[in-house]
Amino acid sequence: MKGVILHGGAGTRLRPLTFTGPKQLIPVANKPVSQYCLEDLISAGIKEIAIILGETYPEMVKEHYGDGSRFGCTITYIYQGKPLGIAHAVSLAKEFVGNEKFVVYLGDNILQDGIKEYVRIFDEKDYDAFILLKEVEDPRMFGVAKFSGDKLVGLVEKPKEPPSKYAIVGVYMFKPVVFEIIKELKPSWRGELEITDAIQGLIDRGYSVGYAILKGWWFDTGKAEDILKVNATILDERAKRDIRGEVVNSKIDGRVEICEGSKILNSTIRGPVVIGKNCIIENSFIGPYTSIGDNVKILNSSLEYCIVLSNSSIENVERIEESLIGKNVSIRKNKNRFLRLKVGDYSEIYL
């Protein structure tokens, strides 16, 4: 069985962060979102993986994942270019897949317990396709399942009147027959080839399409608040106490990870928190549910429930909460009462 990770999309809801990199490489708990997808596939025994690249800095994806050897897999890169729909992206993997079954994983999705159990069911039951569903409060934002009793009879993309509360999770499993269905698809009103139409085509032609109700949580990390929430959730569940950096005259409470080369001076760190490599935290408080990337400097400041990406600096800021701070950002409070700002397009500032 092979794996396909979709790494396209413009990431407009995560601007300005996605002006300088793809949304799937934004880290949560100091790990890119799409790396969780890759690790889920590998844990399920899938070692041959294709990554479908979009228009947003594809070279950064290749730089991070390389040939896959450091992750224990082999990676093939396929260029989609313009976002013409999930089904279109899947169709590009036809040659890579060959005659094997395969799993498609949207690179901005994270599942609590991975996919190993569901891959096993798909393989053992020998379905032509297999999807995961999750009950949600507002199904109108998703592809939604339609049932007749317990039987899956249809899928509707972002319906105004949802036929159920079960949304389609961004993991799909197929036999190669799906490529024949995709060839017959017409673009939707969005100008895209919809994966829900492809699965509906399989159902309509009598192919066996199985489903499972997802256990555990599922996040589609499309907005800043989603990124912060999943960061906090993963830290809460997976953070551990692992102090490899230098700690001087500081208090480290709970599950805190401090990586090599980092220095904590005259500060308090209260977990769950992860701090990357070569950081300097001095005269500061870092509160729970905060992830700090590599080469970050925080002086005389207080942060809680935040993500700070690499090579950024924060100085003399009394308190920052619920904030997603990008790479190479400088935040400093001057001694005067006025504000001095350099703010890029699509930024948000709350004072």
Tokens of 68: 């896959």
**Given this model, what pLDDT does residue 220 score?**
81
Cβ–Cβ < 8 Å for 145, 73: no
In which residue ranges of the chain is pLDDT below 50?
A: none
Q: How far is CA 248 from the centre of its chain?
A: 35
**What are the beta bridge partners of residue 270?**
253
Cβ–Cβ < 8 Å for 278, 261: yes
Longest dimension (CA), the chain: 71
Please work out, in degrees rounded to the nearest 5, the angle formed at the alpha carbon of residue 209 by the alpha carbons of 105 and 131.
Answer: 25
d(CA 232, CA 327): 19
Tokens of 42: 């590998």
Dihedrals φ, ψ of 167, to 5°? -90, 155
Please report the domains of the chain, with CATH numbers, ordered by start residue: 2-233 (3.90.550.10), 239-332 (2.160.10.10)
Quick one: CA dihedral 67, 73, 78, 83, positive or negative?
Answer: negative
Q: Which amino acid is at 231?
A: N
Report CA-CA distances (Å) from 11 to 7, 8, 56, 99: 11, 9, 9, 33
**Given this model, what pLDDT does residue 332 score?**
85
**Given this model, what pLDDT does residue 107 score?**
92
pTM of the model: 0.89
Cβ–Cβ < 8 Å for 41, 49: yes
Report CA-CA distances (Å) from 267 to 36, 261, 288: 31, 16, 14
**Given this model, what pLDDT does residue 340 score?**
60
Nearest CA-CA partner of 38 in 107, 94, 90: 107
d(CA 224, CA 36): 18
Residue 84's Cβ-count burial label (10 Å; 0-12, 13-18, 19+) is middle
**Given this model, what pLDDT does residue 208 score?**
95
d(CA 7, CA 69): 19
Nearest CA-CA partner of 144 in 164, 160, 130, 125: 164
**Given this model, what pLDDT does residue 105 score?**
97
